[in-house]
Amino acid sequence: MQSPSSPTVSEISSMHSVVEKGSMMDVPLNNQEKQPSSDSESAPEFPDGGLHAWLTVFGAASLLFGTFGIAASYGVFQAYYEETLSVGTPNSLISFVGAFQVCIVQFGGIFVGHVWDTTGLKYLLPFSAASALIALFTLSICQPGANHFYQILLSQAVLFGIASCMAFSIALAICSHWFAKKRGTAMGIVVAGSSLGGIFIPLIFTKVLSVAGFGWAVRTIACITALCYIIAFLTLRTRLPFKKTRPLSHSVDLSAFKDWAFVLMSIGSLFLIAGFPIPYFYMEVFANYYGVNPNIAKNLVTISNAAGFFGRISSGMLGDKFGKFNSVIPIALCCSLLCFLPWTLATGNGAALIVFAIFFGALSGSIVSLTPAAIVDISPRERVGARLGTHLAIVSIGSVTGPVIAGMIGAQLNPNSIRGVTLFSGSLFAVGSIFIIAARMSLTRSLTARR
């Protein structure tokens, strides 16, 4: 099982990118907000291609592969902790490790964005690399047993969460230095790096784990992460000037709470992000409980992440064509139905679980990208960065509470508790959908409006 991407991610994916686009460089955020300009004026400012631009995209995607890809793979770690390394540790505490990583990525973006605005890569990239590698190598020597679980909490949740937050912000924000018209394409490629990490890292971890044990499995992943950072150091380049100073208070916009569309959308997103990681965390655990073929059970979240790869790429196109609110509402409702029906009724059926993993991965991957994009659409342009910072702070609450409450419901594995977790996840998506419908209706009652 793995945690989402991502969050996330988008995760959560467009969250931090739009913060930087709105607050740092004062460039248009989408086609609707662009001011008329000639090609001669825009071409020198944003290359929208070229060797250096695409190398930067490659480096950013590599950075997310080696950091957020691991955060998106937490499910395989959780299964091993519950069954082997940390037997006796409450499920809710084990879930908290993966959830807290996502929370740090979301909430910490407020502070990381402030550093990026003034210094760029200078401090963030080296500190992120050092934090990630120290976190992974200390994780590899964590002692077994419930009494030592705090070591995993500190290394994987706190330190690696901080490293992932910095890497995530860097990877998404730096695209705004090189792309304007093709920014959506560039961002899709970068975010796909985390999805690819969520596909391959669990496979590598599981293979090495069976042969050489937990310590060497984590150290192998650390070597992959180190290679990704080397690629990032060699390819990432900034080209626009940074501000000398920026008050930290500008990262939060309290006036946003006077905007009903913003408030309702943020509350709805909180519920969606609370429900989003639960299937990733528990698909494998529940499948193992019901005796599903191990080759199917251990690959369920990898399958889901593979489907999410396409969901994240296609979400931007859906939002551009039909509107962000119009796109996220039916997707969230479908995620709710998937949890209520296929996951609840087929927890012990391998073939049905594969179908659930594919559809849930593809649909849920879109949510992480579309919800922050919707916030951008309804925010005043001069305050879009602060609005997103405020939105992320609200959403981060759900990324922690959802999986932890699910862990408490499923503390004792049995059919009733498993059913409780699946229904809880579906309910979170349903409630979130209601709030987002209300947010859209506060903007316009027209069913055909592109919102």
Which range has the top average pLDDT, 41-45, 88-92, 438-442?
A: 438-442
Q: Residue 40 falls within a domain, yes or no?
A: no
Residue 65 domain boundaries:
12-32+45-443
CATH number at residue 56: 1.20.1250.20
Euclidean distance between CA atoms 83 and 212, whole angstroms: 17
Distances, alpha carbon 224 to alpha carbons 129, 201, 218, 219, 267, in Å: 12, 9, 10, 9, 37
* 258, amino acid identity: K
Euclidean distance between CA atoms 155 and 177, whole angstroms: 33
Q: Residue 1 falls within a domain, yes or no?
A: no
Q: Residue 302 falls within a domain, yes or no?
A: yes
Q: Residue 367 falls within a domain, yes or no?
A: yes
Which range has the top average pLDDT, 45-59, 134-148, 289-303?
A: 134-148
pLDDT tens digit sequence for 52-91: 889 999 999 999 999 988 988 888 898 899 888 888 888 8
pLDDT of residue 249: 67
Q: Residue 5 falls within a domain, yes or no?
A: no
Computed over every residue of the chain, the mean pLDDT equals 81
Euclidean distance between CA atoms 208 and 323, whole angstroms: 44
The token duo for 317 is: 């196109």
Residue 142 has pLDDT above 80, yes or no: yes
pLDDT tens digit sequence for 331-354: 999 999 999 988 888 777 888 899
Q: Residue 253 falls within a domain, yes or no?
A: yes
Given pLDDT bands bounded at 50, 70 and 90, which one contains residue 449? Answer: low
Q: Which residues contact 218 (CB under 8 A, 6 or more apart)?
A: 136, 137, 139, 140, 205
pLDDT of residue 299: 87
Q: What is the mean pLDDT of residues 249-258?
A: 78
The token duo for 221 is: 């992943």
Q: What is the mean pLDDT of residues 17-29?
A: 38
Q: Residue 222 falls within a domain, yes or no?
A: yes
Q: Is 254 exposed, middle or buried (0-12, 13-18, 19+ CB in 10 A)?
A: exposed
Residue 35 has pLDDT above 60, yes or no: no
Given pLDDT bands bounded at 50, 70 and 90, which one contains residue 448? Answer: low
The residue that leads in pLDDT, 15 or 178, is: 178
Euclidean distance between CA atoms 124 and 438, whole angstroms: 39
Q: Is 252 exposed, middle or buried (0-12, 13-18, 19+ CB in 10 A)?
A: middle
Euclidean distance between CA atoms 179 and 50, whole angstroms: 10
Place of tokens 């330190």: 159
pLDDT tens digit sequence for 86-138: 888 888 889 889 889 888 988 887 787 777 777 788 888 999 999 999 999 99
The pTM assigned to this predicted structure is 0.74
Residue 7 has pLDDT above 80, yes or no: no
Q: State the number of CA atoms in the 13 A half-sphere of 377 facing the CB.
A: 21
Report helix, strand or coil for 9.
coil
The count of structural domains within the chain is 1
Euclidean distance between CA atoms 44 and 56, whole angstroms: 18
Using only C-alpha atoms, the chain has a radius of gyration, in whole angstroms, of: 21
Number of Cβ within a 10 Å radius of residue 397: 15
Report helix, strand or coil for 298.
coil
Euclidean distance between CA atoms 442 and 451, whole angstroms: 11
pLDDT of residue 44: 42
pLDDT of residue 450: 67
Q: Residue 300 falls within a domain, yes or no?
A: yes
pLDDT of residue 141: 94
The token duo for 333 is: 């409702």
The token duo for 232 is: 């990032």
